[in-house]
Amino acid sequence: MLVLLPWLTAALTPRPVTDTVLDPSPCVTISAAAASTSWCVSNCGAGNCPPALCSCGDQAKASEDTAAMPAVPDLAVADQKAADQKAADQKAADQEAAEPPMGKRQLLILKAEAKNISLKNINKLYAEGRASNNMSKAGLLVHQHDNTEKGWGTDAMLYKPGGKPFFATTITNHHLKGLYNDECGIIVAPSASKLLCSYYADFMSWDAGCERVGLNAANGWHTAQQPSAPRGTPYPPESFKEMMEQSRELQEGKGRPPAVGERGYNAAAASLARRALGEPGNAAGFWLGGYNEVLISRAFYESGLPWSVMASFFVEGGNVDGANCALATRNSLNKWYGANASHVLVLKHTPGADPAFEVYEPPAPLAGVPGQSP
């Protein structure tokens, strides 16, 4: 078998009769993604001038003139985008109006509760929490860093919701240990929690809120199981107790095995999990079960700041920057609200432990270390 070297093969391959050697000086590309103008100049001069890539002579001048013309916007598309944005803005405004801030009496009650916040009371709420439609008996409502807050990354203000009319949280207690991730978070006061809806798994509320449909137990960052009574939409406030019961089934592994389609979906979701940076936690050795998602009114919660926040916390054995994040959150509250935020504790949380929370005392500065003093 005769083997020709590549350059010799090219030299001996006859050119198509349609190829002609052109004056390459006026040649330009008409497909910048596939060929550059310099490539067209070089190759057209050698007789290899693909008409789908290059244009020469008068055609090249026409191509240049066309390229130089400003693009004419598609007015229909622009109008539709403007209409869509206007509708979205109006919907957000309507939702905001439907969920007003706290009244004076509600704020007074919240302030009075803030004076009684203590480590003992927080551990009691966690230990005695149970499925209930009464938020004060359900356990602790927590929000963790999820990149929906004002700011981003390490600059995020965990206690300040972003632009959505809702604030995403999780209900946790001795039976519901599942958390969104192993970073840091805040504990929301029960009186600052105006429930909008909830679900026994992450229902990806960020773009649809309580209007999300087509849900099942494989739609979140959790073990792919179905509870005894699966539901395709978030639970209304009056069904919070039922949601908690289904959430406990999932977290205790008592749900039915997943269907074939659910296995595949969950496997794909699990591969997207991240440690830190506000993403769901799914690291080996940490909590391997699920967590629920609870949406509360942003306007109601935010109007009660800083008294809406009972404590900041980090997870024992979790992200290495968790403690710093919890401290930074408390310090930020102190900076912006002064003495009104003096009730906010900084806690270390061990899910399922008794007690589940301990007051965190940062290590004392080390003598002899640059930048620190004994």
**Are 44 and 135 in a shared domain?**
no
pLDDT value of position 326: 95
**Are 149 and 22 in a shared domain?**
no
Is the pLDDT reported for residue 268 higher than 50?
no
Assess if residue 277 is contained within a domain. Answer: yes
Mean pLDDT (whole number) for 334-346: 96
pLDDT value of position 87: 66
**Are 35 and 168 in a shared domain?**
no
**Are 172 and 240 in a shared domain?**
yes
pLDDT value of position 267: 40
Residue 229: other Cβ atoms inside 10 A? 10
Rounded CA gap, 40 and 21, in Å?
12
Residue 246, C-beta contacts closer than 8 angstroms, at least 6 positions apart: 200, 227, 228, 229, 231
Residue 118: other Cβ atoms inside 10 A? 14
**Are 54 and 108 in a shared domain?**
no
Rounded CA gap, 56 and 62, in Å?
10
User: What integer best gives the mean pLDDT of the chain?
Assistant: 77
Residue from 241, 237, 238 nearest 229 by CA: 241
**Are 37 and 104 in a shared domain?**
no
Specify the residue for token string 């999932």: 250
**Are 64 and 120 in a shared domain?**
no
Is the pLDDT reported for residue 270 higher than 60?
no
Mean pLDDT (whole number) for 294-298: 97
Rounded CA gap, 141 and 154, in Å?
22
Mean pLDDT (whole number) for 345-374: 81
Is the pLDDT reported for residue 287 higher than 50?
no
**Are 64 and 113 in a shared domain?**
no
**Are 132 and 249 in a shared domain?**
yes
In Å, the largest CA–CA distance within the chain is 95
Question: Who has greater pLDDT, 180 or 171?
Answer: 171
79-103 in b/e form (b: 16+ CB < 10 A) is eeeeeeeeeeeeeeeebbeebebbe
Question: Who has greater pLDDT, 322 or 28?
Answer: 322
pLDDT value of position 319: 86
Q: What percent of the chain has pLDDT over 90?
A: 44
Specify the residue for token string 């290059």: 54
Rounded CA gap, 89 and 306, in Å?
28
Assess if residue 62 is contained within a domain. Answer: yes
Q: In which band, very low, low, confident or very high, does the pLDDT at 368 lie, cut at 50, 70 and 90?
A: low
**Are 154 and 54 in a shared domain?**
no
Question: Who has greater pLDDT, 219 or 174?
Answer: 174
Assess if residue 189 is contained within a domain. Answer: yes
Q: Report the half-sphere exposure of 83 (CA within 13 A, side-chain side).
A: 6
Assess if residue 118 is contained within a domain. Answer: yes
pLDDT value of position 38: 77
pLDDT value of position 334: 94
Here the tokens at position 305 are 């700041």
CA–CA distances in Å: residue 144 to residues 73, 103, 129, 156: 43, 26, 19, 11
Here the tokens at position 341 are 């935020």
Q: What is the identity of the amino acid at 127?
A: A
Here the tokens at position 217 are 């137990």
Here the tokens at position 261 are 């389609």
Question: Who has greater pLDDT, 49 or 360?
Answer: 360
154-165: per-residue pLDDT in tens?
556 899 998 899
Mean pLDDT (whole number) for 114-126: 97
Assess if residue 187 is contained within a domain. Answer: yes
Is the pLDDT reported for residue 307 higher than 60?
yes
Mean pLDDT (whole number) for 269-278: 39
Let me know: does 187 contact 348? Beta carbons within 8 Å.
no
pLDDT value of position 271: 37
Q: In which band, very low, low, confident or very high, does the pLDDT at 63 lie, cut at 50, 70 and 90?
A: low
Rounded CA gap, 189 and 282, in Å?
27
Mean pLDDT (whole number) for 211-231: 67
Residue 235's domain comprises 99-359
Phi-psi region of 245 (alpha: psi -120 to 50; beta: other; left: phi over 0): alpha
Assess if residue 247 is contained within a domain. Answer: yes
pLDDT value of position 251: 84
Residue 183, C-beta contacts closer than 8 angstroms, at least 6 positions apart: 144, 145, 276, 278, 281, 314, 315, 318, 319, 321, 322, 325
Assess if residue 57 is contained within a domain. Answer: yes
Rounded CA gap, 324 and 7, in Å?
63
Assess if residue 5 is contained within a domain. Answer: no
**Are 209 and 347 in a shared domain?**
yes
- Total domains in the chain come to 2
pLDDT value of position 277: 44
**Are 62 and 157 in a shared domain?**
no
